[in-house]
């Protein structure tokens, strides 16, 4: 019994000594705001560059960069007009090329590649934290640079959806990246409108 009592005292002493240390670490990690004005903490969505610069600096979008360069659409992604950019990852371009019998981006005829890229550019800023999208359980149609519409919405887990309610829809894998000229949503597929 004496041995258990000593072990209990050591355990109690360790807890008593760790409590002030834990509190000190906890308070040191707190951020104190200087006044009553709201200070935006940038949770990771805003990037201080254009969509074009973001695409150029993101390895998983290197095939998209190559496609934009091949079609000469850099100004569409680097201008000051606010747009929504749907950015297919490299795997999406590889799958598209394999399905269509192309070995690289340079093999895709420009008259086919340009409309594909322009469909991925929405002529409005659509961010999935927008109250209109959060309150609306139906897809909202937006015009794209290709002249067709894209339907954007979200599922019950608030993941962005493209063309929900049509024959083929896609889930956005990374959303709400905010370059200086709009918003970027990354997809695992090249998307299209299928009514």
State whether 72 and 117 are in the same domain: yes
Q: Which domain holds residue 124?
A: 51-187
pTM of the model: 0.75
pLDDT at 42: 43
DSSP code per residue over the chain: -HHHHHHHHHHHHHHHHHHHHHHHHHHHTPPPPSSSS------S-B-SS-HHHHHHT-GGGHHHHHHHHHHT-HHHHHSSS-EEEEEE-HHHHHHHHHHHT-SSGGGS-HHHHHHHHHHTEESS---TT-HHHHH--S-EEEEBTTSSEEEEEE-TT--EEESTTSSS-EE-SEEEEB-TTEEEEEESS------
State whether 55 and 136 are in the same domain: yes
Buried b / exposed e along 129-148 (16+ C-beta atoms within 10 A): eeeebeeeeebeebebbbee
pLDDT at 6: 55
| Separation CA 27–CA 45 (nearest Å) | 27
User: Does 39 map to a domain?
Assistant: no
pLDDT at 154: 85
pLDDT at 2: 52
State whether 56 and 26 are in the same domain: no
User: Does 41 map to a domain?
Assistant: no
Based on the structure, what is the number of domains in the chain? 2
CATH number for the domain spanning 103: value is 2.30.180.10
Tens-of-pLDDT digits for all 195 residues of the chain? Answer: 555 555 555 555 555 555 565 555 555 544 444 544 434 444 458 999 999 999 999 999 999 999 999 999 999 999 899 999 999 999 999 999 999 999 999 999 999 999 999 999 999 999 887 777 666 668 899 999 999 999 998 887 778 999 998 999 999 999 999 999 999 999 999 999 887
pLDDT at 11: 54
User: Does 40 map to a domain?
Assistant: no
State whether 94 and 126 are in the same domain: yes
pLDDT digits (tens, 9 = 90+) for 51-77: 999 999 999 999 999 999 999 999 999
């Amino acid at each position: 019994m004496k041995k258990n009592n000593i072990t209990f005292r050591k355990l109690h002493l360790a807890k008593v000594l760790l409590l002030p240390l834990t509190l000190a670490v906890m308070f040191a990690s707190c951020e104190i705001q200087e006044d009553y004005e709201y200070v935006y903490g940038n949770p990771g969505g805003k990037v201080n560059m254009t969509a074009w610069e973001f695409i150029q600096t993101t390895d998983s979008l290197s095939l998209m960069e190559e496609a934009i360069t091949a079609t000469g659409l850099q100004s569409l992604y680097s201008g000051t007009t606010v747009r929504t950019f749907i950015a297919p990852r490299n795997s999406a371009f590889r799958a598209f090329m394999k399905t269509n019998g192309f070995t690289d981006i340079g093999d895709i005829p420009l008259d086919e590649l340009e409309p594909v890229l322009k469909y991925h550019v929405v002529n409005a800023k659509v961010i999935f934290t927008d109250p209109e999208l959060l309150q609306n359980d139906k897809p909202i149609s937006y015009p794209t640079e290709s002249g067709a519409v894209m339907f954007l919405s979200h599922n019950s887990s608030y993941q962005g959806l493209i063309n929900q309610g049509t024959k083929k829809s896609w889930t956005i894998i990374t959303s709400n990246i905010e370059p200086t000229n709009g918003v970027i949503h990354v997809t695992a597929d090249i998307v299209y409108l299928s009514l």
